[in-house]
Chains A and B, each alone.
Chain A
């Protein structure tokens, strides 16, 4: 197994609010290795967006890092100076956003922006940067790339925009590519095409791809390993195969059961997860899933569970993980 390219160690982030500190991320540990596609999955409020913003060092101004670090090339990237952070952002760790419309400047042609994305290559002439941009658009499946370089973002369809956003990220040749809900805004046929593209790219891209999503279909199609998050914690991690076929945390199991795509036969009533997410300002003392858990025990309400090893590369934060 190769060494971790980036690792999140015991990271906790909270947001100041009128009601008190919202603990959006609590003691998260995860790592991405070279050549790997990892998935981070969870529902609204699980902390996945906070984690995404931490990866590219764009945490909100009211956010506080209360513990931990993100290690990349031997340094904690959260503790760098703003100028050093800028060196890493984009060039080493790039991001693909959910809404590619917002990722581009609406009043500049796409070609200009794709050239600007290669700003760090001072020695390369502009004409060569343009040629690289054209080749990259071709690579991500944009027809007639030379013509499309002159167009503006509003002139493209949603699927095309996402392809250009992927091209923009790849032009910076980052070691780590973070994709935050890359297919949520797209139709199913476009989604399939973007998944196909990302899968192809992993062969040319020798870094790690981190996919952040609430969509299990995207995880199943794309990822090697998965981290499942709930209420700010990583509750289970493992290979996609093991997580899907042998989930050890009751939340993971419930989440998979809820997804209508996994049911082969039509059902009259869809499964749901009863109850609500706990208040992230005043968290319960025991397991954060205890109130919604079908197999809850007495100790779950009093003691917070640790991560328990349940198999090779498979861990779950549940007292009952080994049952």
Chain B
């Protein structure tokens, strides 16, 4: 299967800027490395889950992929064609959509839902015979009644606001939707509705999704493949089912083991992972994870591991990955 969106060797550096002119002058040449060597591909009609803790660079990755964040290295190809210039990204944005983390904050408080859902069409100057009719059609597709078109964002519930964001994302008939924490702050029953809506759209419209989240339990059920990000490095990628069944990277294993279990019989006694994610300003040498890794050896402190391929389309970036049984 050819990739719809392929990112290879992507890296992003930010200029360190303090507060005030002095700090800026002194630190002019100081750069902070946020992402490095990111290889990700999303196939048409596939849901890719990108998982990581706060500060792992998930949102920066999404922003770079849509040209909202300047990159310092690597290539990105959409549909086989490289995207690099501003014009390329403008074209890309016609075929893709971004769902921001906070749905209410990403909807203009002074526009009604009807106008909000067709706004992408207006921005892209797409011909639209009847805006009200189009809005109704889009709202219907995400399971909202047409009457909601006359409401303002503050009159919506959390779940409805998310649906409006999905409708907006669908307006341009995109081929790829990047969703940043699409279910943060929602009740579990509503979370299920939004995710089922996305899975349904994937099936009926052949849409590809990239879902950015730190909710493992959720991503496990909706994504086809997952990518685990830690401090701007891709730790592990592969088909979701395989990664959950046999996590190769110690970080993936501790993430899975950290997930709280609703079943009191499965209560954990020990702590799977100690300490906190280090700051990007004080990136540990060698493997980024060695400060929290229970299996860390001397080599991990000195030498940064390279990504290695495992059977079944998986990759892992670890000197001592869990041995995988030969492909089934």
Q: Is the CB of A187 within 8 A of B260?
A: no
Say whether, besides A43-B187, A44-B158, A260 and B217 are in contact (CB < 8 Å).
yes
Beyond A189-B273, A221-B268, A244-B263, is A214–B188 a contact (Cβ under 8 Å)? yes
> A256 to chain B: which residues have CB within 8 Å?
262
Residues of B with C-beta under 8 A to A299: none
The reply to whether B273 and A273 contact each other, CB–CB distance below 8 Å, is no
**CA A263 to CA B216, docked complex, whole Å:** 12
A295 at the interface (CB under 8 A from B): no
Is the Cβ of A192 less than 8 Å from the Cβ of B221?
no
Looking at the assembled complex, report how far the CB atom of A33 sits from the nearest CB atom of chain B, in whole angstroms.
18
Q: Is the CB of A240 within 8 A of B187?
A: no
Q: Answer yes or no: A216 CB below 8 A from chain B CBs.
A: yes
Q: Which of B158, B188, B195, B262 contacts A219 (CB 8 A)?
A: B262
Q: How far is the CA of A240 from the CA of B264 in the complex (A)?
A: 7
Determine whether the beta carbon of B261 is less than 8 Å from that of A261: yes
Question: With contacts A189-B53, A214-B187 known, is A261 near B199, CB below 8 A?
Answer: no
Given contacts A259-B188, A266-B241, contact A187 B195 (CB under 8 A): no
A185 to B214, CA, bound (A): 11
A261 close to B264 (CB less than 8 A) = no
CB distance from B54 to the nearest CB of A (A): 6
Q: Is B295 an interface residue (CB 8 A)?
A: no
State whether the Cβ of B255 lies closer than 8 Å to any Cβ in chain A: yes
Q: Is B272's CB within 8 Å of the partner chain A?
A: yes
User: Are the C-beta atoms of A218 and B217 separated by less than 8 Å?
Assistant: no
Question: Does B271 lie within 8 Å of A220, measured CB to CB?
Answer: no
Would you call A158 and B214 a contact (CB within 8 A)?
no
Which residue of chain A lies nearest to B261 when distances are taken between CB atoms in the complex? Answer: A220
Q: Which residues of chain A are within 8 angstroms of B260 by Cβ–Cβ distance?
A: 188, 191-192, 195, 215, 217-218, 220-221, 261
Given contacts A43-B188, A188-B216, A219-B262, contact A193 B271 (CB under 8 A): yes
Instruction: Bits for B191-208, please: 1 = Cβ < 8 Å to A, else 0.
Output: 111011001000000000
In the bound complex, CA of A269 to CA of B201 (Å):
12
Note all chain B residues with C-beta closer than 8 A to A220. 260-264, 266-267
Question: How would residues 254 to 265 of chain A score, 1 for a CB under 8 Å from any chain B CB and 0 otherwise?
Answer: 111011111100
Known contacts A187-B54, A189-B273, A193-B274, A221 near B187 by CB under 8 Å: no
In the bound complex, CA of A165 to CA of B262 (Å): 25
Cross-chain contact of B196 among A189, A190, A272 (Cβ < 8 A): A272
A223's closest neighbor in chain B, by CB?
B264
Contact B262 A158 (CB under 8 A): no
Contact A273 B189 (CB under 8 A): yes
B263 to chain A, nearest CB (A): 6
Q: Are A260 and B221 also in contact (CB < 8 A) when A159-B276, A188-B259, A216-B262 are?
A: yes
Q: Is B265 in contact with chain A by the CB < 8 A criterion? A: yes
Task: Identify which of A188, A218, A221, A255 contacts B189 (C-beta below 8 A).
Answer: A255
Q: Could you say which residues of chain A place their CB within 8 Å of the CB of B192?
A: 258, 260, 270-272
Q: How far is the CA of A225 from the CA of B188 in the complex (A)?
A: 21
With a cutoff of 8 Å between Cβ atoms, the chain A residues found around residue B112 in the complex are none
* B262: A residues at CB distance < 8 A: 216-217, 219-220, 244, 256, 259, 261-262
Q: Does B106 contact A (CB under 8 A)?
A: no
Q: Which residues of A contact B158 (CB under 8 A)?
A: 44
Residues of B within 8 A of A44 (CB): 158, 187
Would you call A157 an interface residue if the criterion is a C-beta within 8 Å of the partner chain's C-beta atoms? yes
Determine how close the nearest CB of chain B comes to the CB of A283; give it in whole angstroms: 18
* CB–CB B220/A266 < 8 A: yes
- With A272-B189, A272-B193 known to touch, is A189 a contact of B263 (CB < 8 Å)? no
Indicate if B291 sits at the interface (CB-CB under 8 A).
no
B75 at the interface (CB under 8 A from A): no
Q: Which residue of A lies closest to B193 (CB)?
A: A272
B11 within 8 A of A: no
* B72 at the binding interface (Cβ < 8 Å): no
> Bound complex: CA of A234 vs CA of B277, how far in Å?
39
A55 to B195, CA, bound (A): 36
B186 vs chain A, min Cβ distance (A)? 9
Q: Which of A171-221 contact B (CB under 8 A)?
A: 187-193, 195-196, 214-221
CB distance from A260 to the nearest CB of B (A): 4
Q: Which chain A residue has the least Cβ–Cβ distance from B279?
A: A157
The minimal Cβ–Cβ distance linking A27 to chain B, given in whole angstroms, is 23
Q: How distant is the Cα of A159 from the Cα of B214 in the complex, in angstroms? A: 15
Query: A188 with B276: in contact, given A217-B261, A220-B262, A260-B217 (CB under 8 Å)?
Result: no
Residue A19 at the chain B interface, CB threshold 8 Å: no
- With A244-B262, A273-B189 already in contact, the answer to whether A188 and B214 are too (CB < 8 A) is yes
Contact of B265 with A241 in the complex, beta carbons under 8 Å: yes
Inside 8 A of A191's CB, which chain B residues have their CB? 258, 260
A267 located at the interface, meaning its Cβ lies under 8 Å from any Cβ of chain B in the complex: yes
A197 to B164, CA, bound (A): 40
User: A214 CA to B276 CA in the complex, in Å?
Assistant: 25
Given A192-B271, A219-B262, check contact A260 B199 (CB 8 Å). Answer: no
Bound complex: CA A244 to CA B221 (Å): 21
**B143 to chain A: closest CB distance in Å?**
11
Query: Which of A216-241 touch B at CB < 8 Å?
Result: 216-221, 223, 240-241
- Please list the residues of chain B having a beta carbon within 8 angstroms of any beta carbon in chain A: 53-54, 158, 187-193, 195-196, 199, 214-218, 220-222, 240-241, 244, 254-255, 258-268, 271-274, 276-277
8 tightest CB-CB pairs across the interface, nearest first?
A217-B260, A270-B192, A216-B262, A43-B187, A273-B189, A261-B217, A192-B258, A272-B192
A-B contacts, 16 listed (Cβ < 8 Å) = A44-B187, A189-B276, A190-B53, A195-B260, A216-B188, A219-B262, A221-B260, A223-B264, A241-B264, A245-B265, A258-B188, A260-B188, A261-B261, A266-B220, A272-B192, A273-B189
